[in-house]
Amino acid sequence: MTGITPGSTAPAGAAVDAPSSAPGGLVKSVVALDRVVIRLAGDSGDGMQLTGGRFTSETATFGNDLSTLPNFPAEIRAPTGTLPGVSSFQLHFADHDIMTPGDAPDVLIVMNPAALKANLPDLPGGGLLIADADEFTPRNLAKVGYASNPLEDGSLDGWQLVSVPLTSMTTDALADSGLGKKEAERSKNMFTLGLLSWMYHRPTEGTIRFLERQFRRKPQIAAANIAAFRAGYNYGVTTEAFAVSYEIKPAPMAPGKYRNISGNQALALAIVAAGQRSGLPVFLGAYPITPASDVLHELSKHKAFGVRTFQAEDEIAGIGAALGASFGGALGVTTTSGPGVALKSETIGLAVMTELPLVIVDVQRGGPSTGLPTKTEQSDLLQALYGRNGEAPVPVIAPRSPGDCFDAALEAARIALTYRTPVILLSDGYLANGAEPWAVPIIDELPDLRVDFATEPNGEDGEFLPYLRDPETLARAWAVPGTAGLQHRIGGLEKADKTGNISYDADNHDFMVRTRQAKVDGIAASLPPTEVDDPDGDARVAVIGWGSTYGPIGAACRRIRASGRSIAQVHLRHLNPLPADLGEILARYDRVVCPEMNLGQLAMVLRAKFLVDVQSHTQVRGLPFRAAELAAVLQDVIDGTTGTVATSDSSSDTPAQTGAAL
């Protein structure tokens, strides 16, 4: 089997080390690569997410740049061995900075026939395919409609197939562990991880420590998993099946402390940090929903930081409790996904009216209705911007990468506390579960979020005016219950200016509606100038995006530039208010293209606000854009072709559409 290359899209690897000798005189060579994309696929019960997560941690510790794409079914355990039960984890890692989890894998590991069937279409010809031969039984093959065993019938000749009995090698390795066969088999994912760790020169101590910690109370299981992991590694060292291992050097990174982080983790940590930086207790009111629940889980662990988490009876109670806590002076937070935001709309309106700080996190998933719970989408933008009765302006912010969820959530807290307003943070399933290396911030460099509570009367006649505003921010006075002499009543009925008493006066209503809008519009004054990435400086076409499309759009722009063309990239963090300089920036370009994982929601807003003929490019497949496809679209725009762009996407039967598709 010498001569296996990893199928990497990287330049042909060169052997760097002198061939190393393995026991038994086996000669193995090491090939240097600049990047690789690996996909692990198996049954939901095979532990692919855990295995991928561990491989990611090893890779992060090693110092590669990386990006991940977990992809799992909505069902907890679909019937074993079936197509709906397939779960996969893709990891892209490199010796340079990368922006996406990779369009397609170079290496595919399949734990059963269903995983092969579901994932093979994504593996380019010539790619390395590793299969657990033990699971390709007649019964498992029949479950997914294979008439004969593809590992044996020559149908996989177009790929570099390595068929290995992963399951039986695992059980053999655990023969003396005292575990039954079924139980021992469950460690096959760790055997596979060991093999991959050898193949890619990953450090192994972290995984061993992890397993010890994870199974602290079950030492026998811990020992078995570690033994399987080591056996997999040693198998790599000794086997003739794999003659080559690969080296991907660490990526250059600015000095500092790093960790691997997922979007949901980063978001949760930011909420803890916001509490600490404001000095306020944090109150999270939430109802479980994919893909937002992990934020609730994570925050529930941080009670020592004064974080109260409340699992409410529904989304309405979650946000209601958070708003009640805000009234009491806490940083109120509620986390959910699109269907939950729909339920929270009325309370968001109340927060707009009562002008209390509140952070609403929407980790978007495929919609409408229950939609695609475990898949990603950006289709809640218009809901976030406009999904309420009345004129109810709400600032909207979107992070662009897993690590950026931290900064974006802190920014949401800043706006909420400074302007006394609900703020919607639009993350999505891809950011939530995806991971990347993250420079651990230095506490003193985090924004100062301290607030000024009212402590004495502010009116001319010695009275307290809860709706007297700061002339600069238009934020109203915030007096918390318990503050002597400042008792007041707030609520959803229209407020009289300054006093906050009920008012049905026509002019007052007109004034208050405009004032609430002006307050939110005024946030734009606190935003830095919009960054335009145009390294060549002569781009005629700009591509504009928001949220998690940052990586794929950025990667596509690199491809465009590598082809000798120029393109400008603008990526929005603030969706409401839009940056003050945005209209002027967009007007500079001949064409503006807006790729979105919806049917053109930002494009519609940009067209309406700036009268710019934005060209919308959309895809709603529950998956992030592929950089190559986007690059093709952008290239056609630059080269003057418009209209529908056919994509060379072998796995998707519906070509992506260009043009405003509203």
Partner 1 sequence: MTAIESTNAHVHDLGMPGNPISAAIADSVAVSGEKQTALKAKDLKTDQEVRWCPGCGDYVILNAVQSFLPSLGIAREDMVIVSGIGCSSRFPYYMNTYGMHSIHGRAPAIATGLAASRPDLSVWVVTGDGDALSIGGNHLIHTLRRNVNLTILLFNNRIYGLTKGQYSPTSEIGKVTKSTPMGSLDHPFNPVSLALGADATFVGRAMDSDRKGLTDVLRQAAEHQGTSLVEIYQNCNIFNDGAFELLKDPATGTQWTIPLVHGEPLVFGPGGASCVVRDEVGGLRIAERNQVDASEIVVHDAHRNDPSYAFALSRLSSQDLRYTPMGVFRSVDKPVYDRMMADQLEEARAERPADLAALLAGGDSWTVS
Rank residues 75 and 314 by Cβ distance to partner 1 and give the closer one: 314
Residue 461: both structure tokens together:
């006649």
CA-nearest of 308, 318, 307 to 351 is 318
Nearest-approach distance from CB 137 to partner 1, in angstroms: 38
Question: Is-contact 108 39, C-beta < 8 A?
Answer: yes
| Bridge pairing between strands 128-132 and 107-110 | parallel
Nearest-approach distance from CB 46 to partner 1, in angstroms: 24
Nearest-approach distance from CB 318 to partner 1, in angstroms: 8
Cα(316)–Cα(292) distance, integer angstroms: 16
Q: Largest alpha-carbon pair distance within the chain?
A: 94
> Which range touches partner 1 (CB under 8 A), out of 103-111, 115-123, 361-369, 487-495?
487-495
Cα(53)–Cα(91) distance, integer angstroms: 9
Cα(16)–Cα(20) distance, integer angstroms: 11
Question: What amino acid occupies position 457?
Answer: P
Rank residues 78 and 322 by Cβ distance to partner 1 and give the closer one: 322
Query: Hey, which residues between 268 and 297 contact partner 1 (CB under 8 A)?
Result: 269, 272-273, 276, 278-281, 283, 285
Nearest-approach distance from CB 349 to partner 1, in angstroms: 8
Query: Hey, which residues between 431 and 470 contact partner 1 (CB under 8 A)?
Result: 440-441, 443, 450-451, 453-456
- Tell me the per-residue interface mask from 18 to 57 with partner 1, x by CB under 8 A, - otherwise: ---------------------------------------x
Nearest-approach distance from CB 483 to partner 1, in angstroms: 4
Q: Is residue 116 involved in binding partner 1 (CB under 8 A)?
A: no
Nearest-approach distance from CB 620 to partner 1, in angstroms: 33
- DSSP code per residue over 81-132: TSGGGEEEEEEEEESS---SS-SS-SEEEESSHHHHHHHGGGS-TT-EEEEE
Burial (0-12, 13-18, 19+ Cβ within 10 Å), 337: buried
Query: Hey, which residues between 363 and 382 contact partner 1 (CB under 8 A)?
Result: none
- Tell me the per-residue interface mask from 118 to 137 with partner 1, x by CB under 8 A, - otherwise: --------------------
Q: Is residue 481 involved in binding partner 1 (CB under 8 A)?
A: yes
Rank residues 76 and 254 by Cβ distance to partner 1 and give the closer one: 254
Figure out which of the listed residues 147, 484, 506, 646 binds partner 1, where binding follows CB under 8 A. 484
Nearest-approach distance from CB 443 to partner 1, in angstroms: 5
Figure out which of the listed residues 64, 100, 262, 347 binds partner 1, where binding follows CB under 8 A. 347
Nearest-approach distance from CB 227 to partner 1, in angstroms: 22
Q: Is residue 493 involved in binding partner 1 (CB under 8 A)?
A: yes
Nearest-approach distance from CB 391 to partner 1, in angstroms: 17
Q: What are phi and psi of 249, to 5 degrees?
A: -65, 155
Cα(546)–Cα(548) distance, integer angstroms: 7
Residue 643: both structure tokens together:
């209209």
Residue 608: both structure tokens together:
């309406």
Cα(128)–Cα(148) distance, integer angstroms: 21
Question: Is-contact 65 98, C-beta < 8 A?
Answer: yes
- Tell me the per-residue interface mask from 302 to 331 with partner 1, x by CB under 8 A, - otherwise: xxxxx-x-x-xxx-xx--xxxxxxxxxxx-
Q: Which residues pair with 592 in a beta bridge?
A: 542, 614
Nearest-approach distance from CB 550 to partner 1, in angstroms: 22
Per DSSP, the three-state class of 180 is coil
Question: Is-contact 662 381, C-beta < 8 A?
Answer: no
Rank residues 317 and 603 by Cβ distance to partner 1 and give the closer one: 317
Rank residues 231 and 486 by Cβ distance to partner 1 and give the closer one: 486
Distances (CA, A) of 353 to 348, 441, 504, 589, 614: 9, 35, 14, 39, 34
CA-nearest of 613, 605, 602, 616 to 657 is 616
Q: Is residue 354 involved in binding partner 1 (CB under 8 A)?
A: yes
Rank residues 29 and 483 by Cβ distance to partner 1 and give the closer one: 483
> Which range touches partner 1 (CB under 8 A), out of 84-92, 129-137, 483-491, 646-654?
483-491
Nearest-approach distance from CB 65 to partner 1, in angstroms: 11
Distances (CA, A) of 506 to 353, 474, 476, 511: 17, 21, 21, 9
Question: What angle, 0 to 180 degrees and rounded to 10, lies between the N-to-C axes of helices 188-199 and 166-173?
Answer: 100
> Which range touches partner 1 (CB under 8 A), out of 76-84, 335-343, 476-484, 589-597?
476-484
Distances (CA, A) of 26 to 1, 191, 233, 447: 12, 21, 15, 57
Nearest-approach distance from CB 390 to partner 1, in angstroms: 12
Rank residues 496 and 660 by Cβ distance to partner 1 and give the closer one: 496
Cα(334)–Cα(356) distance, integer angstroms: 14
Cα(92)–Cα(69) distance, integer angstroms: 9
Query: Hey, which residues between 527 and 566 contact partner 1 (CB under 8 A)?
Result: none
Q: Is residue 346 involved in binding partner 1 (CB under 8 A)?
A: yes
Rank residues 435 and 634 by Cβ distance to partner 1 and give the closer one: 435
Nearest-approach distance from CB 342 to partner 1, in angstroms: 15
Distances (CA, A) of 62 to 39, 163, 210, 247, 403: 19, 28, 16, 11, 18
Q: Site for partner 1 (CB under 8 A): how many residues?
A: 79
Rank residues 345 and 651 by Cβ distance to partner 1 and give the closer one: 345
The 3-class SS string of 130-150 reads EEEHHHCCHHHHHHCCCCCCC
> Which range touches partner 1 (CB under 8 A), out of 59-67, 86-94, 128-136, 378-386?
59-67
Question: What angle, 0 to 180 degrees and rounded to 10, lies between the N-to-C axes of helices 205-214 and 219-238?
Answer: 160
Q: Is residue 505 involved in binding partner 1 (CB under 8 A)?
A: no
Nearest-approach distance from CB 216 to partner 1, in angstroms: 14
Q: Is residue 212 involved in binding partner 1 (CB under 8 A)?
A: no
CA-nearest of 334, 377, 374, 336 to 357 is 334
- Tell me the per-residue interface mask from 67 to 106 with partner 1, x by CB under 8 A, - otherwise: ----------------------------------------
- Tell me the per-residue interface mask from 247 to 266 with partner 1, x by CB under 8 A, - otherwise: ------xxxxxxxxx-----
Rank residues 314 and 536 by Cβ distance to partner 1 and give the closer one: 314
Figure out which of the listed residues 60, 86, 190, 604 binds partner 1, where binding follows CB under 8 A. 60
Figure out which of the listed residues 332, 393, 552, 554 binds partner 1, where binding follows CB under 8 A. 332
Residue 634: both structure tokens together:
């952008």
Query: Hey, which residues between 145 and 164 contact partner 1 (CB under 8 A)?
Result: none
Rank residues 274 and 633 by Cβ distance to partner 1 and give the closer one: 274
Query: Hey, which residues between 182 and 211 contact partner 1 (CB under 8 A)?
Result: 206
Neighbouring residues of 361: CB distance < 8 A, sequence distance ≥ 6: 267, 292, 295, 333, 334, 335, 336, 409, 412, 424, 425, 427
